[in-house]
């Protein structure tokens, strides 16, 4: 149960709303018990009175009580569902926001062990499963306990021995049934959580990789693997359904036994007249209905605890990179220096080895080298996605560790190799970079990067992009990313393969645009291509995590080293 302790704190934020839901649930249960009990007594009493007692029997008062109990039950049930589900959804909202807020600082180092589909499943499905904690465990358990106390106390006015017998059997059922079915259902609940996560992850991978699987003939094998997981998931669901049926059957058996016992005790050894005997019998039937959700609820507790552990596995992690609360001011320009920086992702294979590099204010630097030589890793370290194991990175003569996250993010504009287009308006896709930007500024940024055509749509900035809207070509996506960088206005611009996959003409236009935008800013560009490198102040060739050559285009050509060899191969 300690696994669930952190999540109970979220319920305190909506204590009064959730408590009101429990109170309404109790009122509904008591109204149901009162309705069936009063109805049974009313019918029995009226039957015993017969036609001779037609004028002496007061049937108006119990009839009004029956109608009143029915109305109270209906109204209380409606508002109980309304309040309980509203409170639960609010708790899930805060839980999802809390989980996401703890997840973001872990990226990318702390999340490398999780697949994207698994992360999505934990954030959505596992968090949703936690609503069972209130709706299926806490509320039914408290409601059943209050009903037992109320029924026992109310019936003791008529016959204390019968009331204690009924209350004792109900309390014994409440104590024994939940732990029994919790132990029986825990392995199934945990298996359901794991299989659901595995199945959804595999479906996501199958959908995203369907073209490759079809092309290389692996679709049938992967589909067979998916079918195996689905069959195991269905078997687990069947086992849980069987346990649910067993719990209801056992509760029905206990109800029947209690009903016969109460009827036998009332008829044989009690001084009660005929009509109150019917009252006890019908009250027994109604009261045990309050216990119906309890056995099934604790079956789901195993699934809830498994989901809680999966969510806790994320939120309990400490970020690999810690940012201070205060930092130096950025100023209008940025200079960068890397001193003997070494970094490894797994502690064995060095991505960067004793790398030193000095970049002056306003200098434009290109990082060139083969795939896996450490270029993108270097950009990751500059943005503090990771910290180097050795060496130090200085920004304006201050270590990166001295900068707050807000100041560092404000100082750096990043254009990644893969540009994401959100299913949102054109305005929404741009405001990510500068939430306070006006429409006029957004339009100016689009015109500067050559995307004025997007504004020619009748809807302008309100035009919908992504799914269900207009898609963008590769060149347009790159320009959109540059527009975001322009709106962000960082003094240091980091570009990771900004022209990858583009034709030569589009690449030329984008490089010209980047030089114009970064004219008075510091710029670092990772690339595999030679187009436009003659305009850079410094070109660094990297290999195996080290800088093997550096200088401007003309210096490196005159040295006739690796850069010159690369140029010769491209020329041929």
366-378 pLDDT, tens digit per residue, is: 998 888 888 888 8
Q: Contact at 8 Å (CB) between 369 and 543?
A: yes
Gap between the Cα atoms of 279 and 369, Å rounded = 88
Q: How high is the pLDDT of residue 244?
A: 83
Gap between the Cα atoms of 434 and 197, Å rounded = 36
Gap between the Cα atoms of 554 and 562, Å rounded = 13
Q: 113: Cβ–Cβ under 8 A, 6 or more apart, which residues?
A: none
Mean pLDDT over 187-200 rounds to: 83
Q: How high is the pLDDT of residue 572?
A: 47
Structure tokens at 12: 């305190």
Type and span of the H or E element at 545: none
Q: How high is the pLDDT of residue 301?
A: 74
Q: If pLDDT is split at 50, 70 and 90, which confidence band does 78 have?
A: very high
Q: Contact at 8 Å (CB) between 307 and 193?
A: yes
Output the average pLDDT for the chain.
82
* 186 pLDDT above the threshold of 50: yes
Mean pLDDT over 143-151 rounds to: 88
* CA separation, residue 516 to residues 448, 533, 536 (Å): 10, 15, 13
Mean pLDDT over 434-441 rounds to: 88
Q: How high is the pLDDT of residue 482?
A: 86
* 46 pLDDT above the threshold of 80: no
Q: What are the boundaries of each domain within the chain? A: 2-315, 336-421+472-571
Gap between the Cα atoms of 460 and 428, Å rounded = 12
Which tops the pLDDT comparison, 374 or 112? 374
* 549 pLDDT above the threshold of 50: yes
Which range, of 26-40, 100-114, 178-192, 449-463, averages the lowest pLDDT? 100-114
How does pLDDT run across 297-349, given as a tens digit for each residue? 676 777 777 777 777 777 777 877 888 877 766 666 788 998 989 988 876 77
So what's the architecture of 2-315 in CATH?
A: Up-down Bundle (1.20)
Please enumerate, as own/partner, the contacts of 69-74 that have beta carbons within 8 Å and a separation of 24 or more.
Answer: 69/31, 69/32, 69/34, 69/35, 69/38, 70/31, 70/35, 72/27, 72/31, 73/28, 73/31, 73/32, 73/35
Which tops the pLDDT comparison, 261 or 320? 261
* CA separation, residue 212 to residues 208, 224, 335, 337 (Å): 9, 16, 44, 42
Q: How high is the pLDDT of residue 57?
A: 62
Instruction: Please name which of 335, 366, 357 lies closest in space to residue 534, comparing C-alpha atoms.
Output: 366
Mean pLDDT over 17-37 rounds to: 86
Q: How high is the pLDDT of residue 51?
A: 55
Q: If pLDDT is split at 50, 70 and 90, which confidence band does 202 have?
A: confident
Q: How high is the pLDDT of residue 79?
A: 92
Altogether, the residues listed in the chain come to a count of 572
Q: How high is the pLDDT of residue 268?
A: 67
Just give the CATH number of 336-421+472-571.
Answer: 3.40.50.300
Mean pLDDT over 47-74 rounds to: 72
Gap between the Cα atoms of 377 and 389, Å rounded = 13
Please enumerate, as own/partner, the contacts of 187-190 that have beta carbons within 8 Å and a separation of 24 or more.
Answer: 187/302, 188/236, 188/239, 188/240, 188/243, 188/299, 188/302, 189/240, 189/299, 189/300, 189/301, 189/302, 189/303, 189/304, 189/305, 189/306, 190/302, 190/303, 190/305, 190/306
Which tops the pLDDT comparison, 109 or 424? 424
Q: How high is the pLDDT of residue 47?
A: 73
Q: How high is the pLDDT of residue 58?
A: 66
Q: 110: Cβ–Cβ under 8 A, 6 or more apart, which residues?
A: 317, 319, 320
- pTM beyond cutoff 0.85: no
* Cis status, amide bond into 145, omega within 30 of 0: no
Mean pLDDT over 3-17 rounds to: 74
* CA separation, residue 355 to residues 7, 342, 488, 538, 550 (Å): 45, 7, 29, 16, 12
Q: Contact at 8 Å (CB) between 308 and 130?
A: yes
Instruction: Please name which of 304, 300, 293 lies closest in space to residue 141, comparing C-alpha atoms.
Output: 293
């Amino acid at each position: 149960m300690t696994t669930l302790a952190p999540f109970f704190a979220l319920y305190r934020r909506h204590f009064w709303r959730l408590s009101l839901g429990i109170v309404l649930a109790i009122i509904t249960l008591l109204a149901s018990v009162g309705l069936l009990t009063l109805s049974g007594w009313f019918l029995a009493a009226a039957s015993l009175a017969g036609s001779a007692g037609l004028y002496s029997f007061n049937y108006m008062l119990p009839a009004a009580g029956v109608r009143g109990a029915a109305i109270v039950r209906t109204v209380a049930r409606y508002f109980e569902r309304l309040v309980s589900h509203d409170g639960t959804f609010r708790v899930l909202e805060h839980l999802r926001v809390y989980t996401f807020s703890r997840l973001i600082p872990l990226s990318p180092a702390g999340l490398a062990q999780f697949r994207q589909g698994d992360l999505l499943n934990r954030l959505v499905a596992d968090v949703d499963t936690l609503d069972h904690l209130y709706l299926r465990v806490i509320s039914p358990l408290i409601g059943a306990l209050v009903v037992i106390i109320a029924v026992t106390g109310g019936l003791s006015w008529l016959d204390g021995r019968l009331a204690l017998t009924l209350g004792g059997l109900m309390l014994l059922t409440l104590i024994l049934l939940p732990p029994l079915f919790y132990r029986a259902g825990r392995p199934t609940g945990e298996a359901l959580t794991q299989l659901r996560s595995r199945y959804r992850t595999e479906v996501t991978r199958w959908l995203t990789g369907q073209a490759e699987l079809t092309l290389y003939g692996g679709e049938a094998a992967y589909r067979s693997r998916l079918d195996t997981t689905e069959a195991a998931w269905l078997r687990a669901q069947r086992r849980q359904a069987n346990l649910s049926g067993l719990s209801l059957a056992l509760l029905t058996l206990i109800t029947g036994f209690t009903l016969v016992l109460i009827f036998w005790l009332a008829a044989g050894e009690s001084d009660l007249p005929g009509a109150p005997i019917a009252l006890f019998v019908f009250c027994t039937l109604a009261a045990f209905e309050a216990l119906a959700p309890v056995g099934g609820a604790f079956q789901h507790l195993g699934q809830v605890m498994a989901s809680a552990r999966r969510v806790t596995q994320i939120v309990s992690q400490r970020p690999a990179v810690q940012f201070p609360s205060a930092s130096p001011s950025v100023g209008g320009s940025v200079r960068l220096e890397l001193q003997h920086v070494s970094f490894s992702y797994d502690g064995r294979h060095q991505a960067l080895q004793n790398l030193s590099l000095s970049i002056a204010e306003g200098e434009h630097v290109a990082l060139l080298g083969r795939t896996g030589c450490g270029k993108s890793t270097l950009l990751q370290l500059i943005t503090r996605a990771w910290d180097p194991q050795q060496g130090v990175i200085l920004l304006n003569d201050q270590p990166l560790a001295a900068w707050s996250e807000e100041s560092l993010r404000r100082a750096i504009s990043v254009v990644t190799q893969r540009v994401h287009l959100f299913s949102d308006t054109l305005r929404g896709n741009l405001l990510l970079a500068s939430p306070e930007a006006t429409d006029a500024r957004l339009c100016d940024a689009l015109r500067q990067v050559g995307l004025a055509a997007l504004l020619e749509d009748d809807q302008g900035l309100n035009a919908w992009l992504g799914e269900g809207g207009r898609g963008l070509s590769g060149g347009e996506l790159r320009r959109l990313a540059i527009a975001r960088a322009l709106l962000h206005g960082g003094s240091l611009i980091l570009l990771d393969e900004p022209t990858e996959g583009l034709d030569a003409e589009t690449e030329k236009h984008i490089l010209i645009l980047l030089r114009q935008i970064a004219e008075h800013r510091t710029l670092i560009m990772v690339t595999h291509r030679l187009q436009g490198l003659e305009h850079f102040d410094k070109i660094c060739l990297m290999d195996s995590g080290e800088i093997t050559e550096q200088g401007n285009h003309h210096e490196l050509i005159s040295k006739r080293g690796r850069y010159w060899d690369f140029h010769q191969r491209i020329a041929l």
